[in-house]
A and B are shown apart, each in its own frame.
Chain A
Amino acid sequence: MDCKYVENKVWLYVEGDLKANKLQALARHIASCGGCARLVQDARDSQEWLRSCEPEHIDDALLDSVREGVRLKIADLERSRFQFVRVFAELNWKPLIIACPVIVLVLLVALHFSLLPKPNPQHQILVVESNRSMPGMVPVETHNQPEDVAAPHRARARHQRHAIKRNQAQPLRLKDERDLVAADQSYKAPLRIEIQTQDPNVRIIWFASPGDGSAPFGPDK
């Protein structure tokens, strides 16, 4: 232990703010070192000087004014509390009780309408996958292909049977604008579906009621 350490710890030493083993070690050093002993004595004097300062006598009038001030503030606090209670008690509750469910209902209705999906203002284009819509139909872009034109009658009949089965199993599906035919649902006009067959002179036109694409009126050549 050196004098520098004592100098650092002297302020804790004089008030006993150190652990017992450190206190003992410091005490041993101070007993053997005159300089550190003077340091400790100075620190003790300073602490004594600080503590010898008696608390100032506080005038009774000042203390009375403190209490009076507190009482006034408490009275204000209580008054404001009672004022709130009085306003609460004086409220006319009958119309409020009636109005509350009405307000809640109006809010619920408003919420319901605000959450409804809005119709798309753009015209919807329905695209029908033509090779699945009716038996014997082929997509428009393939009707000029020579192999399709030259297909044997038996194969066509088989194809027609399969197509009928598929058509019964699956509703009309929208896929591609090329095959298609457009329908404008926003005007609530009957749905018109045109399908080009392999024969360029034959075109099938269907009309369906709006929004009921699964039940067309039937082929109309």
Chain B
Amino acid sequence: MPGDVAEIARLIEEPGVSVTCERGCESGLGRIIERARQGDAAAFDDVMIHYQRRVVNTARRMLGNQEDARDAAQEVFLRLFKYLKSYKQGQDFDGWLYRIVINVCRDLARKRPPTAISSCEAERGFRKLDDIAATGDIEDQAIQSQHRSIVAEALATLSTKEREALVLRDLEGFSTEEVAKLLGSSQTTVRSQVCSARRKIKLFKDRLTKQRRG
């Protein structure tokens, strides 16, 4: 058990490690998931620890704010606990979990309309961050924070379907085929949604850049 936890900790520390059984399965995680499926509370905790950042980040990109993302993450893990018994070993766990994430985000978005930041607010945030930005790490952090703020604002301009497709395809790194499976639509539809979303993101970025220059 402590060995497994250490392995999870190692996996979390490793950037860009995918845990999907289909994409290079880590047998350790597979064992932990299986134990969680059989009702081991500690193993379920480990699964939560392993996936929490990705779930919160994805939910944040989908919903646009941290509060909703936290609520969504809680609901995702609660549903995971409820339905883990129906998960079949060998199934793509990442895909299965992401389907839960998407469903939870859709439900939350239906209950609470997204609180999009207006472009003026984004611009104000820009200037404020420009003022705060000093040197070294703080400056990098400020630039990154500003970048995140603009991307969040750009994502908020998309329709729900476009946002889902873009987040999964371009930010979460799923293939078009996987996105189509996750969203329950055809690859053609996903391509069309992603294409339209990319175009809108570029337009938003160009508009904001012009505003800054002006």
Residues of B within 8 A of A15 (CB): 169-170, 194
Complex CA gap A11/B48 in Å reads: 36
Please state if B70 and A65 are interface contacts (CB–CB under 8 Å): yes
Please state if A62 and B195 are interface contacts (CB–CB under 8 Å): no
Contacting chain B: which of A43-51, A84-92, A137-145, A202-210?
A43-51
In this complex, what residue of B is CB-closest to A67? B48
Please state if A73 and B73 are interface contacts (CB–CB under 8 Å): no
A2 in the interface (beta carbon within 8 A)? no
Contacting chain A: which of B3-11, B74-82, B117-125?
B74-82
Residues of A within 8 A of B82 (CB): 77
Please state if A69 and B74 are interface contacts (CB–CB under 8 Å): yes
Please state if A70 and B74 are interface contacts (CB–CB under 8 Å): yes
Complex CA gap A74/B78 in Å reads: 7
B199 in the interface (beta carbon within 8 A)? yes
Interface residues of B in 159-174 (CB under 8 A from A): 169-171
Please state if A17 and B60 are interface contacts (CB–CB under 8 Å): no
Contacting chain A: which of B49-57, B85-93, B101-109, B129-137?
B49-57
- Known contacts A50-B171, A55-B57; A62/B176 CB under 8 A: no
Residues of A within 8 A of B77 (CB): 66-67, 70
* From A46, A69, A71, contact of B201 by CB (8 A): A46
Please state if B74 and A56 are interface contacts (CB–CB under 8 Å): no
A-B contact number at CB 8 A: 82
Interface residues of A in 1-30 (CB under 8 A from B): 11-12, 15, 17
B99 in the interface (beta carbon within 8 A)? no
Residues of B within 8 A of A17 (CB): 176, 191, 194
CB distance from B64 to the nearest CB of A (A): 12
Complex CA gap A128/B53 in Å reads: 94
* From A42, A51, A70, contact of B78 by CB (8 A): A70
Counting chain B CB atoms within 10 Å of each CB, which of A67, A70, A71 scores highest?
A70
Please state if B205 and A49 are interface contacts (CB–CB under 8 Å): yes
In this complex, what residue of A is CB-closest to B199? A11
Please state if A74 and B56 are interface contacts (CB–CB under 8 Å): no
Please state if A46 and B205 are interface contacts (CB–CB under 8 Å): yes
Complex CA gap A214/B198 in Å reads: 95
A110 in the interface (beta carbon within 8 A)? no
Complex CA gap A77/B44 in Å reads: 15
CB distance from A85 to the nearest CB of B (A): 16
Complex CA gap A154/B51 in Å reads: 113
A63 in the interface (beta carbon within 8 A)? yes
CB distance from A82 to the nearest CB of B (A): 14
Please state if B56 and A66 are interface contacts (CB–CB under 8 Å): yes
A122 in the interface (beta carbon within 8 A)? no
B66 in the interface (beta carbon within 8 A)? yes
Contacting chain A: which of B17-25, B27-35, B144-152?
B144-152
B40 in the interface (beta carbon within 8 A)? no
Complex CA gap A70/B73 in Å reads: 9
Residues of A within 8 A of B139 (CB): none
Q: Which residues of B contact A (CB under 8 A)?
A: 45, 48-49, 52-53, 56-57, 60, 66, 70, 73-74, 77-78, 81-82, 144-145, 147-148, 151, 154, 169-171, 176, 191, 194-195, 198-199, 201-202, 205
Q: Which residues of A contact B (CB under 8 A)?
A: 11-12, 15, 17, 42-43, 46-47, 49-56, 58, 62-63, 65-67, 69-71, 73-74, 77
Question: Which 6 pairs across A and B sit closest by C-beta, in order of nearness?
Answer: A46-B202, A70-B77, A53-B151, A11-B195, A69-B74, A11-B198
20 contacts between A and B (CB under 8 A): A11-B199, A12-B191, A15-B169, A15-B170, A17-B176, A17-B191, A43-B202, A46-B202, A46-B205, A50-B170, A51-B171, A53-B148, A53-B151, A54-B144, A55-B53, A62-B66, A66-B74, A70-B48, A70-B78, A74-B81
